[in-house]
Chain A
Amino acid sequence: SQQGEEDPQALSIQEGENATMNCSYKTSINNLQWYRQNSGRGLVHLILIRSNEREKHSGRLRVTLDTSKKSSSLLITASRAADTASYFCATAPGGSNYKLTFGKGTLLTVNP
Chain B
Amino acid sequence: DAGVIQSPRHEVTEMGQEVTLRCKPISGHDYLFWYRQTMMRGLELLIYFNNNVPIDDSGMPEDRFSAKMPNASFSTLKIQPSEPRDSAVYFCASSGGGRSYNEQFFGPGTRLTVL
Residues of chain A whose beta carbon lies under 8 Å from any beta carbon of chain B: 2, 31, 33, 35, 41-45, 48, 88, 92, 97-105
B4 within 8 A of A: yes
Take A42-B4, A42-B91, A98-B95 as given contacts and tell me if A2 and B42 are in contact as well, using a CB distance cutoff of 8 Å: yes
Task: List 27 A-B residue pairs with CB atoms under 8 Å apart, sorted by A's residue number.
Answer: A2-B42, A31-B102, A33-B103, A42-B4, A42-B91, A43-B43, A43-B93, A43-B104, A43-B106, A45-B100, A45-B104, A48-B103, A92-B102, A97-B101, A97-B102, A98-B31, A98-B33, A98-B55, A98-B102, A99-B48, A99-B56, A100-B33, A100-B45, A100-B104, A102-B42, A103-B42, A104-B42
B20-77 residues at the A interface, CB under 8 angstroms: 31, 33, 42-45, 48, 50, 55-56
A88 cross-chain contacts in B, Cβ below 8 A: 43
User: Which chain A residue lies CB-closest to B6?
Assistant: A42
Interface bin, chain B: 20 to 34
Find out whether the CB atom of B102 lies under 8 angstroms from the CB atom of A33: yes
Q: B100 — which chain A residues lie within 8 A by C-beta?
A: 45, 48
**Which residues of A sit under 8 angstroms from B104, Cβ to Cβ?**
43, 45, 100
Sample of 16 further A-B pairs with CB below 8 A, known A41-B109, A42-B108, A102-B42: A31-B102, A33-B102, A43-B91, A43-B93, A44-B106, A45-B103, A45-B104, A45-B105, A48-B102, A98-B31, A98-B33, A98-B55, A99-B45, A100-B33, A100-B104, A101-B45
Docked Cα-Cα span, A2 to B91, in Å, equals 17
Residues of B within 8 A of A98 (CB): 31, 33, 48, 50, 55, 95, 102
A41, A48, A98, A105 interface centre (most CB from chain B within 10 Å): A98
Chain A positions within 8 Å of B106 at CB level? 35, 42-44
User: Which residues of chain B are within 8 angstroms of A99 by Cβ–Cβ distance?
Assistant: 45, 48, 56
A31–B104 Cα distance when bound, in Å, is 13
The chain A residue with its CB closest to the CB of B108 is A42
Question: Which residues on the B side are within 8 Å of A31 (C-beta)?
Answer: 102
Asked, given contacts A98-B48, A101-B45, A102-B42, whether A41 binds B102 with beta carbons under 8 Å apart, the answer is no
Give the CA-CA distance A98 to B35 in the complex, in Å. Answer: 13
